[in-house]
Amino acid sequence: MKKVTKEKWVAALESGTFKQGNGQLRHRNKYCCLGVLCEITGNSKNRNMSDTFPKMNDSGTDNESFMGLSTRQQDKLAILNDTGTSFKDIAKHVKQYVRVDD
């Protein structure tokens, strides 16, 4: 993931601007953490935001990525989100485990 994208995503998750929801990227102004990523990068315009996870990749293979996140990472983040982990705690996870491209 690009450093600037990671920084913007973490800031958005920590900001309190986005209300947290689950089960969909966005539903009635509530977002999954991955939906927040789509919004801040402009990818929500090209994606059905009412999709349920995992639909970030077209083929769904483990080696494909969306914004630098493997499907395994996306799965982990969706599980954290949908089991009640707060955006602030998800931001900590992103800081620690999401790699920045060179």
Rounded to whole angstroms, the Cα distance separating 60 from 63 reads 9
CB contact at 8 A, 72 and 62? yes
- The domain in which residue 46 lies consists of 3-94
At 67 the pLDDT is: 80
pLDDT at 63 over 50: no
pLDDT at 48: 59
Q: What number is the average pLDDT over the span 13-26?
A: 94
State the chain's mean pLDDT as an integer. 84
Nearest alpha carbon to residue 50 among 83, 70, 21, 75? 21
Each residue's pLDDT tens digit, 29-46: 999 999 999 899 887 765
Structure tokens at 82: 């949908």
- Whether residue 64 has pLDDT greater than 80: no
Whether 34 is in a domain gets the answer yes
Give the count of domains, the chain: 1
Instruction: Note whether residue 41 is domain-resident.
Output: yes
